[in-house]
Amino acid sequence: MLRRTRIAALCAILLTPLAISGPAGNRTQSAAQPAPSYTYRGTVHAVNASTGTLDLITGVGMSLRLVHMSAGPAVHTSAPTAGLRMADVKPGYIVTVEWHRTSAGLVVDRIEKLEAPAR
Amino acid sequence: MTRPRVAAALFLLLAVGCKKPVKPGDPIPGLTAEQLARFNRGKEVFDSVFTPHTGLGPLFNSTACEVEVHATAFKGGMCDPLVQEGGPVIQLHTTPALKAALGIDREPFPPSANARASRTTPVVFARGLLDLVPDSAILAYADSEDRNHDGVHGRPNRSLDGRIGRFGRKAFVPTLAEFNAGAFVAEMGITNPAQPTEENIGGKPIPPGVDSTADPEIRQEELDLTDDFVRFLADPTPTKLTRDGRRGRDLFSKIGCTSCHFPTLRSGASPIAALNRREFFAYTDLLLHDMGPDLEDICLGLAGPADFRTEPLLGLRDIQHFLHDGRAATLDQAIELHGGEGAGARDRFKALPTADRAAVVAFLKSL
Protein backbone atom coordinates (compact mmCIF):
# COMPACT_ATOMS: atom_id res chain seq x y z
CA MET A 1 0.00 0.00 0.00
CA LEU A 2 2.81 2.30 1.03
CA ARG A 3 4.66 1.38 -2.17
CA ARG A 4 1.60 2.27 -4.29
CA THR A 5 1.24 5.62 -2.56
CA ARG A 6 4.91 6.36 -3.17
CA ILE A 7 4.58 5.47 -6.89
CA ALA A 8 1.48 7.65 -7.20
CA ALA A 9 3.26 10.56 -5.49
CA LEU A 10 6.32 10.13 -7.75
CA CYS A 11 4.11 10.05 -10.87
CA ALA A 12 2.30 13.16 -9.71
CA ILE A 13 5.59 15.00 -9.20
CA LEU A 14 6.91 13.94 -12.62
CA LEU A 15 3.72 14.56 -14.57
CA THR A 16 2.56 17.81 -12.99
CA PRO A 17 4.99 20.02 -14.97
CA LEU A 18 3.83 18.36 -18.20
CA ALA A 19 0.18 18.85 -17.32
CA ILE A 20 0.51 22.54 -16.53
CA SER A 21 2.81 23.40 -19.42
CA GLY A 22 2.44 22.94 -23.14
CA PRO A 23 3.43 24.40 -26.46
CA ALA A 24 3.80 28.17 -26.31
CA GLY A 25 0.97 28.63 -28.77
CA ASN A 26 -1.51 26.80 -26.55
CA ARG A 27 -0.72 28.66 -23.36
CA THR A 28 -3.22 31.26 -22.29
CA GLN A 29 -2.38 34.34 -20.29
CA SER A 30 -3.29 33.88 -16.66
CA ALA A 31 -5.85 36.44 -15.52
CA ALA A 32 -3.62 37.32 -12.58
CA GLN A 33 -0.57 38.04 -14.74
CA PRO A 34 -0.19 41.50 -16.28
CA ALA A 35 -0.09 41.52 -20.07
CA PRO A 36 3.49 41.70 -21.35
CA SER A 37 4.62 45.14 -22.38
CA TYR A 38 6.37 45.86 -25.69
CA THR A 39 8.12 48.85 -27.16
CA TYR A 40 7.84 50.22 -30.66
CA ARG A 41 9.97 52.98 -32.08
CA GLY A 42 8.50 54.82 -35.01
CA THR A 43 6.93 57.86 -36.58
CA VAL A 44 3.47 59.11 -35.68
CA HIS A 45 1.29 58.73 -38.77
CA ALA A 46 -1.98 60.03 -37.31
CA VAL A 47 -3.27 60.91 -33.88
CA ASN A 48 -6.73 61.75 -32.62
CA ALA A 49 -6.74 62.89 -29.02
CA SER A 50 -10.53 63.11 -28.85
CA THR A 51 -11.07 59.48 -29.91
CA GLY A 52 -7.86 58.39 -28.19
CA THR A 53 -6.23 56.70 -31.17
CA LEU A 54 -2.70 56.68 -32.47
CA ASP A 55 -1.44 55.28 -35.78
CA LEU A 56 2.27 54.57 -35.76
CA ILE A 57 4.54 53.67 -38.66
CA THR A 58 7.13 51.36 -37.21
CA GLY A 59 9.82 49.21 -38.68
CA VAL A 60 11.90 46.40 -37.31
CA GLY A 61 14.34 45.55 -40.05
CA MET A 62 12.42 45.05 -43.28
CA SER A 63 9.26 44.27 -41.34
CA LEU A 64 7.34 47.54 -41.57
CA ARG A 65 3.96 48.12 -39.98
CA LEU A 66 1.25 50.72 -39.69
CA VAL A 67 -0.14 49.87 -36.25
CA HIS A 68 -3.37 51.22 -34.84
CA MET A 69 -3.39 51.77 -31.09
CA SER A 70 -5.70 53.10 -28.40
CA ALA A 71 -4.20 55.98 -26.49
CA GLY A 72 -6.42 57.37 -23.76
CA PRO A 73 -5.82 60.55 -21.76
CA ALA A 74 -4.12 58.54 -19.01
CA VAL A 75 -1.19 57.71 -21.28
CA HIS A 76 2.08 58.83 -19.75
CA THR A 77 3.94 61.13 -22.09
CA SER A 78 7.41 62.56 -21.98
CA ALA A 79 9.69 64.58 -24.20
CA PRO A 80 13.20 66.06 -24.15
CA THR A 81 11.48 69.33 -23.30
CA ALA A 82 9.01 68.80 -20.49
CA GLY A 83 5.27 69.28 -20.73
CA LEU A 84 4.19 67.01 -23.62
CA ARG A 85 0.51 66.10 -23.42
CA MET A 86 -1.29 63.50 -25.52
CA ALA A 87 -3.03 66.36 -27.30
CA ASP A 88 0.39 67.76 -28.25
CA VAL A 89 1.51 64.62 -30.11
CA LYS A 90 1.66 65.41 -33.81
CA PRO A 91 2.10 63.39 -37.03
CA GLY A 92 5.77 63.18 -37.94
CA TYR A 93 6.98 62.99 -34.34
CA ILE A 94 9.56 60.27 -33.77
CA VAL A 95 8.55 58.42 -30.63
CA THR A 96 9.00 55.29 -28.61
CA VAL A 97 5.72 53.78 -27.51
CA GLU A 98 5.32 51.27 -24.71
CA TRP A 99 2.17 49.24 -25.22
CA HIS A 100 0.37 46.07 -24.27
CA ARG A 101 -2.13 43.85 -26.00
CA THR A 102 -5.76 43.48 -24.94
CA SER A 103 -8.64 41.59 -26.51
CA ALA A 104 -9.73 44.92 -28.01
CA GLY A 105 -6.35 45.65 -29.60
CA LEU A 106 -3.09 47.41 -28.79
CA VAL A 107 -3.16 49.89 -25.91
CA VAL A 108 -0.53 52.59 -25.41
CA ASP A 109 0.94 52.88 -21.90
CA ARG A 110 3.61 55.49 -22.51
CA ILE A 111 4.82 57.71 -25.32
CA GLU A 112 8.20 59.37 -25.36
CA LYS A 113 9.06 61.92 -28.01
CA LEU A 114 12.59 61.52 -29.33
CA GLU A 115 14.86 64.10 -30.85
CA ALA A 116 15.12 63.55 -34.61
CA PRO A 117 18.61 62.20 -35.43
CA ALA A 118 21.03 64.84 -36.72
CA ARG A 119 21.51 64.86 -40.51
CA MET B 1 43.25 54.42 -51.74
CA THR B 2 44.78 56.71 -49.13
CA ARG B 3 48.08 55.91 -47.34
CA PRO B 4 46.48 55.21 -43.93
CA ARG B 5 44.06 52.77 -45.58
CA VAL B 6 46.90 50.99 -47.40
CA ALA B 7 48.86 50.78 -44.14
CA ALA B 8 45.82 49.40 -42.28
CA ALA B 9 45.20 46.78 -44.97
CA LEU B 10 48.87 45.69 -45.00
CA PHE B 11 49.02 45.51 -41.20
CA LEU B 12 45.86 43.43 -41.21
CA LEU B 13 47.26 41.11 -43.88
CA LEU B 14 50.37 40.51 -41.74
CA ALA B 15 48.25 39.90 -38.63
CA VAL B 16 45.91 37.51 -40.46
CA GLY B 17 48.87 35.64 -41.92
CA CYS B 18 50.12 34.79 -38.43
CA LYS B 19 46.85 33.37 -37.12
CA LYS B 20 44.98 30.14 -37.62
CA PRO B 21 42.61 30.68 -40.59
CA VAL B 22 38.94 31.19 -39.76
CA LYS B 23 36.61 29.26 -42.06
CA PRO B 24 33.21 30.50 -43.27
CA GLY B 25 30.67 29.66 -40.57
CA ASP B 26 33.20 29.65 -37.71
CA PRO B 27 32.65 31.76 -34.61
CA ILE B 28 34.78 34.86 -34.25
CA PRO B 29 38.05 34.03 -32.43
CA GLY B 30 38.41 35.16 -28.85
CA LEU B 31 34.89 34.48 -27.60
CA THR B 32 34.54 33.41 -23.98
CA ALA B 33 33.23 29.92 -23.22
CA GLU B 34 29.86 31.42 -22.35
CA GLN B 35 29.71 33.39 -25.60
CA LEU B 36 30.72 30.31 -27.57
CA ALA B 37 27.93 28.33 -25.87
CA ARG B 38 25.44 31.03 -26.90
CA PHE B 39 26.79 30.92 -30.47
CA ASN B 40 26.14 27.17 -30.58
CA ARG B 41 22.69 27.42 -29.00
CA GLY B 42 21.84 30.30 -31.34
CA LYS B 43 22.85 28.19 -34.32
CA GLU B 44 20.25 25.62 -33.28
CA VAL B 45 17.51 28.28 -33.34
CA PHE B 46 18.88 29.72 -36.60
CA ASP B 47 18.76 26.26 -38.19
CA SER B 48 15.25 25.47 -36.85
CA VAL B 49 12.59 24.57 -39.38
CA PHE B 50 9.37 26.28 -38.30
CA THR B 51 5.90 24.93 -39.05
CA PRO B 52 2.48 26.61 -38.77
CA HIS B 53 2.17 25.01 -35.31
CA THR B 54 5.37 26.71 -34.15
CA GLY B 55 4.48 30.07 -35.67
CA LEU B 56 5.37 29.86 -39.37
CA GLY B 57 3.30 32.23 -41.49
CA PRO B 58 0.54 32.75 -42.33
CA LEU B 59 2.64 34.55 -44.97
CA PHE B 60 6.24 33.47 -45.38
CA ASN B 61 9.14 33.02 -47.73
CA SER B 62 10.73 29.63 -48.10
CA THR B 63 12.52 28.17 -45.11
CA ALA B 64 15.40 27.45 -47.50
CA CYS B 65 17.40 29.98 -49.51
CA GLU B 66 15.61 31.34 -52.54
CA VAL B 67 15.27 34.59 -54.42
CA GLU B 68 12.63 36.78 -52.76
CA VAL B 69 10.59 39.71 -54.00
CA HIS B 70 10.36 43.29 -52.70
CA ALA B 71 8.08 46.09 -53.86
CA THR B 72 7.80 49.84 -53.19
CA ALA B 73 6.42 52.94 -54.88
CA PHE B 74 8.64 55.83 -56.00
CA LYS B 75 6.64 58.92 -56.91
CA GLY B 76 7.79 62.52 -57.25
CA GLY B 77 11.16 61.76 -55.72
CA MET B 78 9.56 60.32 -52.57
CA CYS B 79 9.75 56.69 -51.54
CA ASP B 80 6.67 54.89 -50.20
CA PRO B 81 7.58 51.56 -48.58
CA LEU B 82 3.89 50.60 -48.68
CA VAL B 83 3.46 50.04 -44.96
CA GLN B 84 -0.31 50.32 -45.35
CA GLU B 85 -0.28 47.47 -47.87
CA GLY B 86 1.87 45.03 -45.93
CA GLY B 87 5.36 46.50 -46.34
CA PRO B 88 8.03 46.02 -48.97
CA VAL B 89 8.72 42.28 -48.58
CA ILE B 90 6.34 40.18 -50.67
CA GLN B 91 6.01 36.72 -49.16
CA LEU B 92 5.86 33.99 -51.76
CA HIS B 93 4.08 31.32 -49.70
CA THR B 94 1.05 30.95 -47.44
CA THR B 95 0.15 28.37 -44.83
CA PRO B 96 -2.60 25.87 -45.74
CA ALA B 97 -4.96 27.66 -43.31
CA LEU B 98 -4.52 31.03 -45.05
CA LYS B 99 -4.91 29.43 -48.45
CA ALA B 100 -8.15 27.80 -47.30
CA ALA B 101 -9.44 31.12 -45.91
CA LEU B 102 -8.51 33.48 -48.75
CA GLY B 103 -7.67 31.21 -51.67
CA ILE B 104 -4.21 32.79 -52.11
CA ASP B 105 -0.91 30.96 -52.28
CA ARG B 106 1.31 34.07 -52.01
CA GLU B 107 1.01 37.64 -50.80
CA PRO B 108 -0.83 39.76 -53.37
CA PHE B 109 1.38 42.30 -55.12
CA PRO B 110 0.52 45.74 -53.62
CA PRO B 111 -1.66 47.72 -56.05
CA SER B 112 0.25 50.95 -55.32
CA ALA B 113 3.68 49.46 -56.08
CA ASN B 114 5.40 50.73 -59.20
CA ALA B 115 8.68 48.83 -58.78
CA ARG B 116 9.67 45.34 -57.83
CA ALA B 117 12.98 43.77 -56.94
CA SER B 118 14.45 40.31 -56.52
CA ARG B 119 16.85 39.62 -53.68
CA THR B 120 19.17 36.71 -52.99
CA THR B 121 19.86 35.59 -49.43
CA PRO B 122 22.55 37.86 -47.98
CA VAL B 123 25.88 36.67 -46.64
CA VAL B 124 25.83 37.01 -42.86
CA PHE B 125 29.55 36.91 -41.99
CA ALA B 126 31.07 39.70 -39.87
CA ARG B 127 27.70 41.32 -39.24
CA GLY B 128 28.56 41.80 -35.57
CA LEU B 129 31.60 43.84 -36.58
CA LEU B 130 29.69 45.85 -39.20
CA ASP B 131 27.07 46.61 -36.53
CA LEU B 132 29.78 48.24 -34.43
CA VAL B 133 31.24 50.54 -37.09
CA PRO B 134 30.47 53.96 -35.60
CA ASP B 135 27.99 56.20 -37.39
CA SER B 136 30.69 58.88 -37.33
CA ALA B 137 32.96 56.65 -39.44
CA ILE B 138 30.23 56.03 -42.01
CA LEU B 139 29.52 59.76 -42.19
CA ALA B 140 33.25 60.48 -42.54
CA TYR B 141 33.42 58.21 -45.62
CA ALA B 142 30.45 59.97 -47.24
CA ASP B 143 31.14 62.36 -50.10
CA SER B 144 27.69 63.14 -51.42
CA GLU B 145 28.96 66.25 -53.25
CA ASP B 146 31.91 64.38 -54.81
CA ARG B 147 34.35 66.94 -53.44
CA ASN B 148 37.33 64.87 -54.56
CA HIS B 149 35.95 64.67 -58.11
CA ASP B 150 36.47 60.91 -58.46
CA GLY B 151 32.93 60.37 -59.74
CA VAL B 152 32.00 58.52 -56.55
CA HIS B 153 29.59 60.17 -54.14
CA GLY B 154 28.64 57.80 -51.37
CA ARG B 155 25.95 58.82 -48.92
CA PRO B 156 24.28 57.08 -46.00
CA ASN B 157 20.75 55.79 -46.05
CA ARG B 158 18.37 56.45 -43.16
CA SER B 159 15.68 54.34 -41.52
CA LEU B 160 12.10 55.62 -41.34
CA ASP B 161 12.91 57.32 -38.03
CA GLY B 162 16.08 58.95 -39.33
CA ARG B 163 18.88 56.71 -38.02
CA ILE B 164 21.82 55.80 -40.25
CA GLY B 165 21.22 52.49 -41.99
CA ARG B 166 23.82 49.84 -42.73
CA PHE B 167 22.11 46.45 -43.25
CA GLY B 168 20.18 45.23 -46.28
CA ARG B 169 21.04 45.80 -49.93
CA LYS B 170 19.80 49.39 -49.65
CA ALA B 171 21.33 49.99 -46.17
CA PHE B 172 17.88 50.70 -44.79
CA VAL B 173 18.25 48.91 -41.45
CA PRO B 174 20.30 50.61 -38.70
CA THR B 175 21.14 47.71 -36.38
CA LEU B 176 21.83 44.00 -36.57
CA ALA B 177 19.31 43.25 -33.82
CA GLU B 178 16.56 44.89 -35.88
CA PHE B 179 17.70 43.16 -39.05
CA ASN B 180 17.51 39.76 -37.34
CA ALA B 181 14.20 40.39 -35.55
CA GLY B 182 12.70 41.80 -38.74
CA ALA B 183 13.89 38.80 -40.75
CA PHE B 184 12.03 36.38 -38.47
CA VAL B 185 8.77 38.19 -39.28
CA ALA B 186 9.32 39.29 -42.87
CA GLU B 187 10.76 35.97 -44.03
CA MET B 188 9.00 33.39 -41.87
CA GLY B 189 6.06 35.19 -40.29
CA ILE B 190 7.49 34.46 -36.84
CA THR B 191 6.45 37.28 -34.51
CA ASN B 192 8.81 38.03 -31.65
CA PRO B 193 9.10 40.53 -28.79
CA ALA B 194 10.72 43.14 -31.07
CA GLN B 195 7.98 42.80 -33.70
CA PRO B 196 5.03 41.18 -31.91
CA THR B 197 2.33 41.91 -34.50
CA GLU B 198 1.59 39.97 -37.68
CA GLU B 199 1.66 41.63 -41.06
CA ASN B 200 -1.64 42.58 -42.67
CA ILE B 201 -2.57 41.20 -46.07
CA GLY B 202 -3.08 43.98 -48.57
CA GLY B 203 -4.12 46.31 -45.75
CA LYS B 204 -6.58 43.84 -44.23
CA PRO B 205 -6.03 41.90 -41.01
CA ILE B 206 -5.38 38.17 -41.08
CA PRO B 207 -8.72 36.31 -41.00
CA PRO B 208 -9.68 34.89 -37.58
CA GLY B 209 -8.60 31.32 -36.92
CA VAL B 210 -5.86 31.29 -39.55
CA ASP B 211 -2.97 31.87 -37.15
CA SER B 212 -3.65 30.08 -33.89
CA THR B 213 -0.18 30.55 -32.41
CA ALA B 214 -0.19 33.29 -29.79
CA ASP B 215 2.01 36.33 -30.46
CA PRO B 216 4.89 36.68 -29.96
CA GLU B 217 5.65 33.29 -31.49
CA ILE B 218 9.21 33.05 -30.18
CA ARG B 219 10.54 34.27 -26.86
CA GLN B 220 13.12 36.97 -26.24
CA GLU B 221 15.64 34.28 -25.27
CA GLU B 222 15.36 32.59 -28.68
CA LEU B 223 15.64 35.95 -30.40
CA ASP B 224 18.71 36.86 -28.34
CA LEU B 225 20.39 33.52 -29.05
CA THR B 226 19.82 33.88 -32.79
CA ASP B 227 21.13 37.41 -32.60
CA ASP B 228 24.27 36.20 -30.81
CA PHE B 229 24.83 33.46 -33.39
CA VAL B 230 24.79 35.97 -36.25
CA ARG B 231 26.71 38.57 -34.22
CA PHE B 232 29.49 36.08 -33.42
CA LEU B 233 29.83 34.67 -36.96
CA ALA B 234 33.39 35.47 -37.97
CA ASP B 235 34.72 37.25 -41.00
CA PRO B 236 36.38 34.33 -42.84
CA THR B 237 40.14 34.61 -43.28
CA PRO B 238 40.96 35.26 -46.94
CA THR B 239 42.68 32.25 -48.49
CA LYS B 240 46.41 32.47 -49.18
CA LEU B 241 46.97 34.46 -52.32
CA THR B 242 48.99 33.20 -55.26
CA ARG B 243 51.28 35.63 -57.08
CA ASP B 244 48.39 36.31 -59.50
CA GLY B 245 46.04 36.89 -56.59
CA ARG B 246 48.41 39.41 -55.04
CA ARG B 247 48.65 41.22 -58.38
CA GLY B 248 44.85 41.12 -58.60
CA ARG B 249 44.58 42.69 -55.15
CA ASP B 250 46.81 45.55 -56.25
CA LEU B 251 44.87 45.97 -59.50
CA PHE B 252 41.58 45.96 -57.58
CA SER B 253 42.81 49.06 -55.79
CA LYS B 254 44.54 50.60 -58.83
CA ILE B 255 41.45 50.54 -61.07
CA GLY B 256 39.37 52.24 -58.38
CA CYS B 257 37.25 49.44 -56.90
CA THR B 258 38.40 50.44 -53.41
CA SER B 259 36.80 53.87 -53.78
CA CYS B 260 33.61 52.12 -52.59
CA HIS B 261 34.81 48.66 -51.54
CA PHE B 262 37.05 49.99 -48.71
CA PRO B 263 39.29 47.05 -47.75
CA THR B 264 39.11 47.50 -43.99
CA LEU B 265 36.77 48.96 -41.41
CA ARG B 266 37.19 49.26 -37.66
CA SER B 267 34.52 48.33 -35.14
CA GLY B 268 33.80 50.66 -32.25
CA ALA B 269 33.70 49.93 -28.55
CA SER B 270 31.98 46.73 -27.44
CA PRO B 271 31.73 44.86 -24.12
CA ILE B 272 32.46 41.72 -26.17
CA ALA B 273 36.25 41.66 -26.33
CA ALA B 274 36.31 39.68 -29.60
CA LEU B 275 34.37 42.46 -31.34
CA ASN B 276 35.87 45.44 -29.54
CA ARG B 277 37.71 47.99 -31.72
CA ARG B 278 38.76 45.44 -34.32
CA GLU B 279 40.15 46.19 -37.74
CA PHE B 280 38.65 43.74 -40.24
CA PHE B 281 38.42 43.13 -43.96
CA ALA B 282 35.03 44.38 -45.09
CA TYR B 283 35.41 45.75 -48.64
CA THR B 284 32.53 48.15 -48.12
CA ASP B 285 31.94 51.74 -47.05
CA LEU B 286 28.34 50.94 -45.98
CA LEU B 287 27.21 53.86 -48.16
CA LEU B 288 24.75 54.13 -51.02
CA HIS B 289 26.01 54.58 -54.55
CA ASP B 290 24.12 55.14 -57.79
CA MET B 291 24.75 51.98 -59.79
CA GLY B 292 23.12 53.12 -63.00
CA PRO B 293 19.80 52.55 -64.75
CA ASP B 294 20.40 48.90 -65.68
CA LEU B 295 20.34 47.82 -62.02
CA GLU B 296 17.43 50.04 -60.93
CA ASP B 297 14.67 48.40 -58.93
CA ILE B 298 12.95 49.63 -55.74
CA CYS B 299 13.49 52.67 -53.55
CA LEU B 300 13.88 52.35 -49.77
CA GLY B 301 14.33 55.23 -47.33
CA LEU B 302 16.65 57.74 -48.99
CA ALA B 303 17.83 55.16 -51.51
CA GLY B 304 16.46 55.80 -54.97
CA PRO B 305 15.81 52.98 -57.43
CA ALA B 306 19.43 52.96 -58.70
CA ASP B 307 21.06 53.33 -55.27
CA PHE B 308 22.63 50.30 -53.59
CA ARG B 309 24.84 49.92 -50.55
CA THR B 310 28.36 48.77 -51.39
CA GLU B 311 28.13 45.05 -50.82
CA PRO B 312 30.68 43.80 -48.26
CA LEU B 313 32.93 41.35 -50.12
CA LEU B 314 32.98 38.49 -47.63
CA GLY B 315 32.64 34.79 -48.36
CA LEU B 316 32.82 35.35 -52.13
CA ARG B 317 34.67 32.04 -52.53
CA ASP B 318 31.44 30.13 -51.83
CA ILE B 319 28.93 32.30 -53.71
CA GLN B 320 27.41 30.95 -56.92
CA HIS B 321 25.37 33.99 -58.03
CA PHE B 322 26.43 37.61 -57.65
CA LEU B 323 24.85 41.07 -57.22
CA HIS B 324 21.75 41.80 -55.13
CA ASP B 325 19.44 39.70 -57.28
CA GLY B 326 21.87 36.99 -58.37
CA ARG B 327 21.77 38.03 -62.02
CA ALA B 328 25.54 37.58 -62.49
CA ALA B 329 26.78 34.02 -62.82
CA THR B 330 30.46 34.99 -62.54
CA LEU B 331 32.53 37.69 -60.86
CA ASP B 332 33.52 39.03 -64.29
CA GLN B 333 29.86 39.52 -65.13
CA ALA B 334 29.18 41.14 -61.78
CA ILE B 335 31.90 43.73 -62.37
CA GLU B 336 30.74 44.34 -65.93
CA LEU B 337 27.20 44.99 -64.69
CA HIS B 338 28.39 47.85 -62.47
CA GLY B 339 27.13 51.18 -63.84
CA GLY B 340 26.65 54.72 -62.53
CA GLU B 341 29.34 55.49 -59.95
CA GLY B 342 30.91 52.11 -60.63
CA ALA B 343 31.22 52.71 -64.37
CA GLY B 344 34.75 54.13 -64.18
CA ALA B 345 36.18 51.14 -62.31
CA ARG B 346 34.20 48.79 -64.55
CA ASP B 347 35.64 50.38 -67.70
CA ARG B 348 39.17 50.21 -66.31
CA PHE B 349 38.58 46.53 -65.46
CA LYS B 350 37.31 45.84 -68.97
CA ALA B 351 40.36 47.56 -70.44
CA LEU B 352 42.76 45.25 -68.57
CA PRO B 353 44.54 42.45 -70.40
CA THR B 354 42.86 39.06 -69.96
CA ALA B 355 45.52 37.84 -67.52
CA ASP B 356 45.06 40.91 -65.31
CA ARG B 357 41.29 40.48 -65.28
CA ALA B 358 41.79 36.88 -64.23
CA ALA B 359 44.14 38.09 -61.48
CA VAL B 360 41.45 40.44 -60.09
CA VAL B 361 38.95 37.58 -60.09
CA ALA B 362 41.51 35.29 -58.41
CA PHE B 363 41.90 37.87 -55.66
CA LEU B 364 38.11 38.19 -55.20
CA LYS B 365 37.79 34.41 -54.99
CA SER B 366 40.20 34.46 -52.05
CA LEU B 367 37.68 36.44 -49.97
In order, the DSSP letters of B176-236 are HHHHHHHHHHHHH---BTTB-SPPPBTTBPPPTTS--SPSSSS-HHHHHHHHHHHHHBPPP
Strand partners, A94: A43
Q: Determine how β-strand B89-90 pairs with β-strand B68-75.
A: antiparallel
Average pLDDT, stretch A87-108? Answer: 92
The model carries a pTM of 0.87
Nearest residue on chain B to A56, judged by CA atoms? Answer: B83
ipTM over 0.95: no
Task: Inform me whether the pLDDT recorded for B59 exceeds 80.
Answer: yes
Range(s) within chain B of domains with CATH label 1.10.760? 3-38+124-156+237-364
Q: How far is B54 from chain A (nearest CA, A)?
A: 7
Give me the CATH code for the B3-38+124-156+237-364 domain, please.
Answer: 1.10.760
Q: What per-residue confidence (pLDDT) applies to B20?
A: 85
Domain boundaries, chain A: 37-113
**Packing angle of the helix pair B343-350, B354-364 (nearest 10 deg):** 130
Q: What per-residue confidence (pLDDT) applies to B320?
A: 92
**CB of B178 within 8 Å of any CB in chain A?**
yes
Do residue B164 and residue A106 have CB atoms under 8 angstroms apart? no
pLDDT single digits (tens) B179-223: 999 999 999 999 999 999 998 888 888 999 999 899 999 999 999
Sort out which chain A residues have CB atoms less than 8 A from B197's CB and list them: 65, 67, 106
Average pLDDT, stretch B270-290? Answer: 97
CATH code matching the domain that covers A37-113, chosen among 2.40.50.100, 2.40.50.140, 3.40.50.300, 2.40.50.180: 2.40.50.140
Sort out which chain A residues have CB atoms less than 8 A from B51's CB and list them: none
3-state SS, residue B313: coil
Average pLDDT, stretch A28-42? Answer: 76
Amino acid at B41: R
Sort out which chain A residues have CB atoms less than 8 A from B161's CB and list them: 41-43, 59, 94, 114, 117
Do residue B195 and residue A63 have CB atoms under 8 angstroms apart? yes
Task: Inform me whether the pLDDT recorded for B321 exceeds 90.
Answer: yes
Average pLDDT, stretch B135-164? Answer: 94
When scoring B56, B80, B139, B160 by the number of chain A Cβ atoms within 10 A, the one with the most, hence best to mutate, is B160
pLDDT single digits (tens) B121-131: 889 999 999 99
Look at residues A46, A93, A69, A66 and name the one whose alpha carbon lies nearest to residue B88: A66
Q: What per-residue confidence (pLDDT) applies to B113?
A: 94
Nearest residue on chain B to A92, judged by CA atoms? Answer: B161
Q: What per-residue confidence (pLDDT) applies to A72?
A: 78
pLDDT single digits (tens) A64-92: 999 999 987 777 777 665 567 778 889 99
Q: What per-residue confidence (pLDDT) applies to B10?
A: 62
Sort out which chain A residues have CB atoms less than 8 A from B193's CB and list them: 36, 38
Task: Inform me whether the pLDDT recorded for A47 exceeds 90.
Answer: yes
Average pLDDT, stretch B290-303? Answer: 96
Angle at B115 between CA B339 and CA B194, to 5 degrees: 100
Task: Inform me whether the pLDDT recorded for A16 exceeds 70.
Answer: no
Q: What per-residue confidence (pLDDT) applies to A50?
A: 86
